[in-house]
A and B are shown apart, each in its own frame.
Chain A
Amino acid sequence: MIKVDKLNKWYGKHHVLKNINLEVEPSEVLVIIGSSGSGKSTLLRCINFLEKAQKGTITIDGKVVTHGSRKLHLIRRDVGMVFQHFNLFPHMTIMNNVIEGLTQVKKVPKDEAIELGKQMLDKVGMLEKADTYPSMISGGQKQRVAIARALAMYPKIMLFDEPTSALDPELVGDVLEVMKKLANDGMTMMVVTHEMGFAREVADRVIYMDEGKIIEQGTPEEIFNNPKNDRTKEFLSRIL
C-alpha cells in the first residue's frame, strides 16, 4: 500500500528523518510512538507531502512519488489526513466541510455529495450537527467531523497526526472509538499518538521512533511487554 524508501529530511542542518524505511500493508493499523521531536509527525507529513523530504522515495499503491512530482494533489486525494488541531474550515457548515473535497476535487454533484456526507457524518455520530458551524461544537466533535471529512474522499490510507492531543481528556474516548471502528472496517491507518491504550488495543504494528530513526518495531505485544531496545524500554517506562 505504502512504501517509504530511504527517506531523509533536514530542517537546515538538523537531520530530522534518518534513512526511514517502512512498508504499510492494506488494512494494517500502524501506530508510531516516540517522544516529541523524534520525527514521527514529520514522517507522517512527508507521506502526504506537506513537508519536503530531501532524499528518498515514497511509493503509494505502486506509484513512486518524490516531492518534485507533478500533480501531487492527485496523490493527496487518496491519502486522508487528520490533524492535531482539526483544521476544520470555520466559514463552512459541518456538512460543507465534509463535502468540500467531494465537490471541489472529485467533482461529485452536490446532492450526491450531500448523501455521501450524511453517511460519513452518521458514521462518526455527528449527523445531527450537519448544519451548524465548527465554532459551535466541542473539540472532540470537531475531530470526528475532521475524520468524516477525510473519510468522504474514500482514501486508500488515513494518516492521524496526534488526533487526540489537543482534546480535553473526557473527549478523547469518542474520537478513539471512531478510529477503532475505522480500523475494524479494514481502513489502512498510520497513527501518531500518545494514547498507548489505543496502540495496544488497535495496532497491528507499533513503531518506536527516536531522534529521527525507527528504533524498534513489532506487534503491540512485543513492543509494550517485551521491548528489546534500551531506548524503547526507557521511553515506555517514562510514559506507562
Chain B
Amino acid sequence: MKGEIKIMEWDFSIIPEYFTFFLPAAFMTIQVTFYGILIGVILGLLFSLMRISKYKILNYPAKFYIWLIRGTPLLLQIIFIYNGLVNIISLDKLPSAFIALGIHNGAYIAEIFRGSIQSVNRGQKEAGISLGMTQWQVMRRIILPQAFKSAVPPLSNQFIIALKDSSLASAAAVPELLLKAKQMASSNYRYMEMLTIAAIYYLIMTSILTFVANMIEKRLKVSDHRV
C-alpha cells in the first residue's frame, strides 16, 4: 500500500547528516525573530502609550493600527509589505521581513503593555502626581517599572509566537528554517526528514526561550514587592 511505502521511506538516520546544513537558516530565524521582537517592543510601547492617551489625535491612530494588524493575517501582511516595499522603495527582502514582523508583533505587544499599564493601581499614579511629578515622570518612574513586571508572562508568550511566526518570512524568500527545509527537500525529496530537522531546531529554540522566560518570572516573583 502507498501509505506503508511512505513510512518505510521515512529514514531518520539521515537526519544527523543534514542537521548542520540548517545552522545558517537557524541563525536567520533567530535574526528575523530578534528584529521582529525589537521593532515590535518599540512600536508596542509607543502605541500602548498612544492608545491610553486621552488625546484623540494619539489615541485614534493607535486604535486603527491595532485594529488593522489584528484583523488581517500575518502572511498577508508579510507579502503585502514585501511586495510593497521591495517594489516601491526597493527595500531588500530581509529588512522588509523585519519590518513586517515588527509591525505585526507591535500591535499585540501594544495590547500587552496597555493591559499591564492599566493594571497598575490607580493610587500609584495619584501618589506620584501628589508629589508634584509630571504625568510623564509618573509614567516613567512609577507606572512603567511596575507594568513591565506584570507584562513578562504575556510578553514571553508573544516572543515564542514571534519565533514561530518568523517561519512565514519564508514567503518573502528569507532563507530561514522553513524555507531551507523546503529547498533541501525539493532537491533530495526527503520532505519528512527535512521538516523534522526544522521542527527540532524550532523546538530547541522555543524550549530555550521558555526556560529563560520561566527563570525571569521566577526571579521577579522572588523580588515581587507588593504593597
Q: Interface on A for B, CB 8 Å cutoff?
A: 48, 50, 73-74, 76-81, 83, 85-91, 100-101, 104-106, 133-136, 142, 146, 149-150, 153
Whether A101 contacts B225 by the Cβ 8 Å rule is: no
Contact with A along B24-64 (1 / 0, CB 8 A): 00000000000000000000000000000000000000000
Instruction: Please count the residue pairs between chain A and chain B whose beta carbons lie under 8 angstroms apart in the complex.
Output: 76
CB contact under 8 A between A149 and B227, given known A87-B123, A104-B141: no
Interchain residue pairs with CB less than 8 A apart (21): A48-B130, A50-B126, A73-B129, A73-B132, A76-B129, A76-B131, A76-B132, A77-B132, A80-B130, A83-B127, A87-B121, A90-B146, A90-B225, A100-B128, A100-B141, A101-B133, A104-B131, A104-B133, A134-B225, A135-B225, A153-B131
Question: B interface, by DSSP: helix, strand, loop or mixed?
Answer: helix
Whether B137 contacts A104 by the Cβ 8 Å rule is: yes
Q: Which of A73, A83, A90 contacts B226 (CB 8 A)?
A: A90
Complex-state Cα separation, A91 to B126, whole angstroms? 16
Complex-state Cα separation, A133 to B133, whole angstroms? 21
Q: Interface on B for A, CB 8 Å cutoff?
A: 121, 123-124, 126-134, 137, 141-142, 145-146, 149, 224-227
> What residues of A have a CB within 8 angstroms of the CB of B131 in the complex?
76-77, 100-101, 104-105, 149-150, 153
Q: Which residue in chain A gives the minimum CB-CB distance to B131? A: A101
Complex-state Cα separation, A136 to B226, whole angstroms? 9
Complex-state Cα separation, A135 to B221, whole angstroms? 13
Whether A50 contacts B130 by the Cβ 8 Å rule is: yes
Closest 9 CB pairs of A and B: A77-B132, A101-B131, A87-B127, A81-B130, A87-B123, A133-B225, A105-B132, A135-B225, A90-B225
> What residues of A have a CB within 8 angstroms of the CB of B132 in the complex?
73-74, 76-78, 101, 105-106, 153
Q: Which residue in chain B gives the minimum CB-CB distance to A159? A: B130
Complex-state Cα separation, A83 to B121, whole angstroms? 13
Whether A73 contacts B134 by the Cβ 8 Å rule is: yes
Whether B129 contacts A142 by the Cβ 8 Å rule is: no
17 more A-B contacts (CB under 8 A) besides A91-B146, A101-B132, A105-B132? A50-B126, A73-B134, A76-B132, A80-B130, A83-B123, A83-B126, A83-B127, A87-B124, A90-B146, A91-B149, A100-B141, A104-B137, A133-B225, A135-B224, A150-B130, A150-B131, A153-B132
